[in-house]
């Protein structure tokens, strides 16, 4: 059905179209000057030493696991309340994901206490996902990592420019990954970015991204090199310049877009806080965040009731989603036997409401009124 209020909208206009057109007309469309420009923008805006563009966030997470040295026999702790890529990347390198629970319905990020409980002599790292763009409890997580000599990867795909105590998400752990998928705050259809302050990690990531080649085509085409060596086993994880040119325009718009989203969220929180049957995760957050999505969790509910509520909302022309089905309950991960009561409750009772800068206050009110009616009738 065509929804009157969709879950998200694409923040595109003639600027993205012109940027793509100009890149196509330039005669260089594979990884080249636009990727270099985008990487520099990330270094400047995140105040980070290194940024390496990637074909998508999943590939960036794969690279992150490789440069962190994870491999067969290792365990890496991760949340289950996330998209599967956050956990699949651990398996790509032969390591084993160990699922930790979330804090609870009011803070749907990975629990530092459960991380500590899950550490064994085989634990080599932690993948942290900043759900909805809100920061995990990074002081505690980094303290755990230091005490146990663990690497920390931040999956910051929900949180471009989100902050934790004045630091940008993605700059706190050893390395981080961002997504430019079509429904993200920065959208190019597909694409991603790897960032780090570790010079050796950046060197490895840049080699892995392009078949382990010591020089890339653009360097040779511009006369900066005439030949190349294959220095390691690499992959084709490159972003093309067409997408990079679109990402540049998206990044220019991002600060203003996030400021407007703050106003949308304030209206949501004001209205939703009046509903006794609803928990708004991160309602007390005071940090600047991306507000990628607008999750709510039903109290004292069941999956069946949650689904009925969603059906009522959909019938009113409002699109919703669920972020996310629990990864540890998927067939491919069920054999690991994880039991995560907080995650399982939230994944059965969470509803993602529409969130984007173009939402009007009247639309937010309509969404909240419809949710209230759905709860009364379910």
Q: What are the tens digits of pLDDT across the range 90-112?
A: 999 999 999 999 999 999 999 99
Examine the pLDDT at 288 and tell me if it is beyond 80. Answer: yes
* Buried-exposed string 133-161: b where 16+ CB fall within 10 A, e elsewhere: bbbbbbeebbebbeebebbbbbbbbbbbb
The yes-or-no verdict on residue 224 having pLDDT over 70 is: no
The whole-angstrom separation of Cα 115 and Cα 345 is 19
Closest CA to 97 of 106, 111, 86: 86
Alpha-carbon gap, residue 336 to 324, rounded angstroms: 19
Task: State the pairing for strand pair 278-279/294-298.
Answer: antiparallel
Residue 264's alpha-carbon distances to 134, 251, 289, 318, 319, in angstroms, are 15, 20, 12, 16, 17
pLDDT per position as a tens digit, 163-219: 999 999 999 999 999 999 999 999 999 999 999 999 999 999 999 999 998 776 656
Answer yes or no: are the C-beta atoms of 77 and 101 closer than 8 Å. Answer: no
Residue 378: pLDDT band with limits 50, 70, 90: confident
Rounded Cα distance, 201 and 145, in Å: 18
Are 139 and 129 a contacting pair, CB within 8 Å? Answer: no
For the beta carbon of residue 18, count every other beta carbon within 10 angstroms. Answer: 12
- Spatial neighbors of 21 by CB under 8 A, at least 6 apart, are none
For 349-366, write each residue's pLDDT tens digit. Answer: 999 999 999 999 999 999
Q: Whats the size of the chain, residue-wise? A: 378
Query: Which residue from 232, 201, 179, 197 is spatially nearest to 54, judged by alpha carbons?
Result: 179
Q: What pLDDT digit, counting tens, does each position of 335-350 carry?
A: 999 999 999 999 999 9
Q: Is the dihedral of CA 46, 49, 55, 60 positive or negative?
A: negative
By annotation, the residues acting in catalysis are: 184
pLDDT mean across residues, the chain: 96
Q: Residue 214: what pLDDT?
A: 78
- State if pTM tops 0.75: yes
Please tell me the predicted confidence (pLDDT) of residue 1.
66
pLDDT tens per residue, range 314-325? 999 999 999 999
Q: State the pLDDT at residue 215.
A: 73
pLDDT at 258: 98
Three-state DSSP string of the chain: CCCCECCCCCCCCHHHHHHHHHHHHHCCCCCCHHHHHHHHHHHHHHCCCEEEEECCHHHHHHHHHHHCCCCCCCEEEEECCCCCHHHHHHHHCCCEEEEECEEECCEEEECHHHHHHHCCCCEEEEEEECHHHCCCCHHHHHHHHHHHCCEEEEECCCCCCCEECCEECCCCCCEEEEECECCCCCCCECCEEEEECCHHHHHHHHHHHECCECCCHHHHHCCCCCCCCECCCCCECCCCHHHHHHHHHHHHHHHHHHHHHHHHHHHHHHHHCCCCCEECCCCCCCCCCCCCCEEEEECCCCHHHHHHHHHHHHHCCECCECCCCCHHHCHHHHCCCCCCHHHHHHHHHEEEECCCCCCCHHHHHHHHHHHHHHHHHC
38-66: pLDDT as tens digits: 999 999 999 999 999 999 999 999 999 99
How confident is residue 225, by pLDDT bands cut at 50, 70 and 90?
A: low
């Amino acid at each position: 059905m065509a929804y009157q209020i969709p879950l998200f909208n694409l923040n595109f206009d003639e600027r993205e179209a012109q940027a793509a057109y100009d890149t196509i007309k330039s005669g260089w469309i594979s990884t080249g000057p636009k990727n270099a420009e985008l990487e520099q923008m990330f270094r400047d805006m995140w105040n980070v030493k290194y940024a390496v563009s990637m074909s998508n966030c999943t590939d960036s997470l794969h690279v992150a696991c490789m440069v962190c040295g994870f491999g067969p026999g290792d365990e890496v702790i991760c949340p289950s309340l996330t998209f599967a890529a956050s956990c699949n990347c651990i398996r790509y390198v032969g390591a084993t994901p160990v699922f930790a629970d979330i804090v609870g319905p009011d803070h749907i990020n990975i629990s530092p206490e459960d991380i500590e409980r899950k550490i064994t002599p085989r634990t080599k790292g932690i993948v942290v996902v900043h759900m909805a763009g809100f920061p995990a409890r990074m002081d505690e997580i980094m303290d755990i990592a230091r005490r146990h000599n663990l690497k920390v990867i931040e999956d910051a795909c929900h949180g471009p420019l989100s902050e934790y105590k004045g630091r940008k998400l993605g700059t706190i752990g050893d390395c981080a990954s961002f997504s430019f998928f079509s429904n993200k705050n920065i959208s190019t259809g597909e694409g991603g970015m790897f960032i780090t302050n570790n010079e050796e990690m950046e060197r490895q990531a840049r080699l892995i991204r392009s078949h382990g080649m010591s020089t890339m085509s653009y360097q040779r085409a511009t006369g900066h090199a005439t030949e190349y060596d294959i220095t390691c086993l690499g992959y084709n994880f490159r972003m093309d310049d067409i997408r990079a040119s679109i990402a540049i325009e998206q990044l220019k718009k991002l600060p203003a877009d996030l400021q407007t989203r703050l106003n949308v969220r304030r209206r949501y929180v004001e209205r939703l806080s009046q509903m006794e049957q609803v928990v708004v995760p991160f309602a007390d957050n005071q940090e600047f965040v991306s507000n990628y999505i607008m999750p709510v969790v039903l109290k004292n509910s069941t999956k069946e009731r949650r689904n009925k509520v969603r059906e009522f909302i959909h019938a009113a022309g409002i699109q919703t989603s669920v972020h996310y089905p629990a990864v540890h309950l998927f067939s491919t991960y069920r054999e690991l036997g994880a039991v995560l009561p907080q995650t399982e409750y939230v994944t059965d009772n969470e509803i993602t409401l529409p969130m984007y800068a173009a939402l009007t206050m009247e639309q937010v009110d309509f969404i909240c009124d419809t949710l209230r009616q759905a709860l009364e009738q379910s």
